[in-house]
Amino acid sequence: MTIDELRNHIRVIEDFPKPGIHFQDITTLLIDPECLNELIDRMVEHYKDKGITKVVGLESRGFILAPAVAARLGAGFVVARKHGKLPGSKYTETYELEYGHDSIEMHTGTIGPDDVVLVHDDLLATGGTMAAAYRLIRKFGASRIYFNTMIELTKVPRLQEFPTDIPLYSIIPVDVD
């Protein structure tokens, strides 16, 4: 399956969640079992020799594929949830979205200094969520970090705080702003 075939399964919803946003709806991509398997296969193939020990899934749509990728890589799955959703001891980071602000949290003790971490989300736009995840994971002292997304909005400028020294693998580039 080609990237164009995958891209053609993404539904774009205009002006959601606010005017001017071209929302990339992945539900139409994931409903097709061939597309779903292709996405997982591409991620596993790309990361199989990187020594990944933990896959962090960013809430909410990063939760969809991250556990499957973690299982296939023989790694653990760690959740990064929106503020207020995790009980117990946790770290919190606030970040900017292209349409507002939010926070993510991770339980303390889920990542250690020997871990090689893959951070997965469905979409990369400004990079605010990924930058916040990076700051969180640095608090744990992970030995190496990788970024992965299903979709990358290539024309959206990254926030200044987006870490450009972290390897990024995005499967489907989309040229919208």
Active-site option among 61, 81, 93, 152: 61
Active-site option among 7, 96, 98, 161: 98
| Residue 61 is among the residues annotated as catalytic for this protein | yes
Q: Is 134 exposed, middle or buried (0-12, 13-18, 19+ CB in 10 A)?
A: buried
Distances (CA, A) of 94 to 14, 30, 54, 81, 136: 26, 29, 22, 12, 10
Say how many Å lie between the first and final Cα of the chain, rounded.
26
| Residue 152 is among the residues annotated as catalytic for this protein | no
Distances (CA, A) of 50 to 43, 62, 114, 146: 12, 20, 13, 9
Which residues are the active-site residues? 61, 98
